[in-house]
């Protein structure tokens, strides 16, 4: 089930984050997002947290800040369900993806996101960010 993240989820969320990214967010960063009323932080819970999405929705525009699925639970449709949660009430959505992140780019394209820009050397390791946009 999809539900709002709670503080007790932090350890599981951090484990997924660390398994998913070379430059993972800190626990403090996740807590700040949990406490930010402008941000929606949803977890996929199947007797344990298997993934999460963090996004904002302002005037029908969603911005996706983070999305990840536990490595052992990938390619079962959870990433798409989490992304759909962020798009559900949106008219438009925006996000950045690392130029080399093929699985994520494929997920976004499968939902109709289009590339709209490139932020050169956006990440600490010098990797470019691709800006993507979705319209309902």
Ligand X SMILES: CC(C)(COP(=O)(O)OP(=O)(O)OC[C@H]1O[C@@H](n2cnc3c(N)ncnc32)[C@H](O)[C@@H]1OP(=O)(O)O)[C@@H](O)C(=O)NCCC(=O)NCCS
Q: Which residues bind ligand X (CB under 6 A)?
A: 20, 67-69, 74-80, 97, 101-104, 106-107, 110
The residue (of 25 and 79) whose beta carbon lies closer to ligand X is 79
Do residues 7 and 32 touch, judged by C-beta distance below 8 A?
no
- The DSSP symbol for 8 reads G
Nearest approach, Cβ of residue 32 and ligand X (Å): 19
Do residues 13 and 5 touch, judged by C-beta distance below 8 A?
yes
Nearest approach, Cβ of residue 50 and ligand X (Å): 8
The residue (of 51 and 57) whose beta carbon lies closer to ligand X is 51
Do residues 83 and 107 touch, judged by C-beta distance below 8 A?
yes
Residue whose token pair is 């949803």: 42
Nearest approach, Cβ of residue 13 and ligand X (Å): 12
């Amino acid at each position: 089930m999809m539900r709002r993240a709670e503080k007790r989820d932090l350890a599981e969320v951090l484990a997924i984050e660390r398994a998913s990214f070379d430059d993972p967010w800190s626990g403090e960063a996740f807590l700040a997002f949990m406490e930010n009323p402008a941000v929606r932080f949803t977890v996929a819970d199947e007797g344990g947290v298997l993934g999460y999405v963090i996004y904002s929705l302002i005037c029908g525009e969603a911005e996706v800040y983070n999305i990840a699925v536990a490595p052992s639970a990938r390619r079962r449709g959870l990433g798409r369900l989490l992304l759909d949660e962020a798009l559900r009430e949106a008219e438009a959505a925006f996000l950045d993806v690392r130029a080399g992140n093929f699985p994520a780019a494929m997920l976004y394209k499968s939902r109709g996101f289009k590339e709209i820009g490139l932020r050169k050397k956006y990440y600490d390791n010098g990797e470019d960010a691709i800006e993507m946009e979705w319209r309902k």
